[in-house]
Amino acid sequence: MTETKEIVVYSRTSFCPYISKAHRVFEQYGVSYREIMIDQDQEAARRVEAWTGFLSVPTIIVARPGEDLPYEDPVPLPPGASPRGVDRGSMITEAGEAELTNWLKRNGFIDK
């Protein structure tokens, strides 16, 4: 990982299988991350809904250290399209384990 970027996970406190998958991938590769709970932070919930069209978790971003926004604008989704598993550059939402692993590799958080 570069020192100029960090992983921020927009999550929620109640169970979600995609959050569990993300935690497993982070643990497997020793990737550190910061978590923001959208069910406890209305501004965070508004961000996720604006980015994805839904309250989709986990929405995972690459941010500058200490920041809560993607370091670059994510690739836009077509209106009404599902964000599930779509690599949007600095963001991925509801990814499967292989999708998240590939995204982390592409963003330099784990070795290729």
Query: Where are the domains positioned within the chain?
Result: 6-106
List the alpha helices (DSSP H) in 30-96. 42-52
In percent, the amount of the chain with pLDDT more than 90 equals 93
CA dihedral 91, 14, 84, 100 (to 10 degrees): 50
64 to 18, 28, 35, 78, 83: CA distances (angstroms): 24, 23, 14, 26, 22
pLDDT at 1: 46
* Confidence check: pLDDT of 17 > 60: yes
CA gap 79, 43 in Å, rounded: 22
Torsion of CA 23, 27, 33, 36, to 10 degrees: 20
Cα–Cα distance list, 99 to 64, 94, 107 (Å): 22, 9, 12
pLDDT above 60 (res 4) = yes
pLDDT at site 88: 98
Average pLDDT, the chain: 95
pLDDT of residue 14 exceeding 70: yes
Q: Which CATH superfamily is domain 6-106 in?
A: Glutaredoxin (3.40.30.10)
Q: What is the pLDDT of residue 80?
A: 85
What pTM did the predictor assign?
A: 0.95
b/e code 73-85 from CB counts within 10 Å (16+ = b): ebeebeeeeebee
% the chain with pLDDT above 70: 98
pLDDT tens readout for residues 27-79: 999 999 999 999 999 999 999 999 999 999 999 999 999 999 999 999 999 88
The whole-angstrom separation of Cα 70 and Cα 10 is 11
